Chain A
């Protein structure tokens, strides 16, 4: 397995504050990797270290097989990067900015002309001739994505790439990321779970500087789905909830918005055997009982604490 990104024991502290705490991460080449976390979790800090803008307090950061802190500037020729709030020279037009960025990569004129035309089209800025200073945030974000692609990067690092976009713009960017699958490794941070579910193969969830989950989305959701049972009964749901909450295998019982019981369990086999018995003891009717299909959002909320933050 070839790795585009590898961090090991990566820690970053600012005074007493530990922004990243012993982060171990592996991103396979060619994958689309979603880096999820609530605001302040440390996503941008990690991206700053991946791009060499900040140095780790301890640990290892490797990009495309090279230690970021040890290599010269040449490794950046193979990377595309979009910061969370991209800064542009407001007096330039989009085409001028892309040309400027292309020159920083020493791209030959003919190739640059072709890429600029293609990327302006992709970002919907072909006919926009005004200076960047007059652009909306969405236009700047689309230009930011375009400049990150000007060098046809081997690794694309994006910090919240869709946060400022309208639904159409979001769809276009996500489609574009999907089209890069297999050719370019895409690593993007976001707190928009739907985006991750839509395009990512693999995901890591960061909370308070720690990676609390890491793996393929299917694996994560199925791992947590096995621990939840959805139960619908004809009546006496509240009494049944009390009975279930006393069971040793039940860690929590909640009444969902439709009246169904959502039971988090530690031992699925025990729950499957006991729940029908408890329903029968209550002389109530069983309408539905199944292992709940959790989405990434449920996994995310359960791991980072949801409203308890």
Chain B
């Protein structure tokens, strides 16, 4: 695919040299660092500030599982929302600034342009999730004294597949919706739809929608179906990128 390597290299450099290096990594590392501490001390904080309101209700002692579920909850909500907003302009910002015109009048195919973006930013997300999971794992081990790796890593990797699906979705939305805010809004709407779809058992078990709940179950050490949700999510992500390429090829710049 002509121009892929050179353009992908530019995408990597752009991450390293611009605000992109700070926003998502900052959010991920913040929650990775603070998650185990919050899990450990939240019950004590609650007892300290609201013991008279708790009455007969006793708060259970925190465990490593609380740190794990907190990490997955932050990935599934705040990190995912940030990802949707950040990638709302992944393609349209280049079209608006005129850089797409300068690049695409060189021997670079539109397919390479889109694929390079989807690939590099999926890889970037993978690095962030791995780094964040390592920090959470280490932090949990320090704070709780125990941190079994299997549950945390399987949960994080399951969420990573869901995150990559949204990188692909935002790539498509950014091609077809020019305003960044519009694409981000559509991305948030898609997330809401996926969450609702997960309530229907067949979709909530076998489709990508299952990945809204599967990571939390895995973090708690439960045995759940992961093969079909992961496979269908990766297939859907590839389809979304292919659609983005097709739509971009039809557009006039």
Contacts and interface: CB of A to CB of B under 8 A. Distances in A.
A81 B98 contact: no
Contact of B107 (A48, A55, A76, A100): A76
Nearest to A82: B102
A299 B14 CA distance: 49
Given A53-B104, A91-B17, A101-B106, A85 B98 contact: yes
A91 B101 CA distance: 18
A154 B98 CA distance: 24
Contacts of B252: 48, 53-55
B99 interface: yes
A73 B108 contact: yes
A100 B3 CA distance: 11
A87 B99 CA distance: 4
A73 to B, nearest CB: 5
The main secondary structure of chain B at its interface with chain A is helix
A52 B98 CA distance: 15
A279 B173 CA distance: 76
B103 A104 contact: yes
A74 B3 CA distance: 11
B11 to A, nearest CB: 10
B7, B104, B109: residue with the most chain A Cβ atoms closer than 10 Å:
B104
Interface in B90-128: 94, 97-109
Contacts of A88: 99, 102
A139 B133 CA distance: 46
Interface residues of A, number: 28
Contacts, number: 71
Given A73-B2, A87-B101, A91-B17, A104 B253 contact: no
Interface string A44-84: 00001001111100000000000000001110110101010
Interface in B149-174: none
A161 to B, nearest CB: 14
A76 B101 contact: no
A83 B99 CA distance: 10
Contacts of B98: 83, 85-87
B105 A91 contact: no
A73 B108 CA distance: 7
Contact of B101 (A72, A74, A79, A83): A83
A184 interface: no
A92 B101 CA distance: 17
A104 B3 contact: yes
Nearest to B6: A103
Given A76-B105, A81-B105, A87 B97 contact: yes
A242 B10 CA distance: 70
B222 interface: no
Nearest to A84: B98
B223 interface: no
Contacts of B5: 103
A84 B107 CA distance: 20
B106 A86 contact: no
Nearest to B104: A53
A103 B13 CA distance: 14
B102 A74 contact: no
Interface in A118-173: 147
Contacts of A72: 109
A48, A54, A83, A104: residue with the most chain B Cβ atoms closer than 10 Å:
A104
B201 interface: no
Interface of A: 48, 51-55, 72-74, 76-77, 79, 81, 83, 85-89, 91-92, 100-101, 103-106, 147
28 contacts: A52-B105, A53-B101, A54-B252, A73-B2, A73-B108, A76-B105, A76-B106, A76-B107, A77-B107, A81-B102, A81-B105, A83-B101, A83-B102, A83-B105, A86-B98, A87-B94, A87-B99, A87-B100, A89-B10, A89-B14, A91-B18, A92-B13, A100-B6, A103-B6, A104-B7, A104-B103, A105-B106, A106-B6
The 4 closest A-B pairs by CB, nearest first: A87-B98, A103-B6, A54-B252, A104-B106
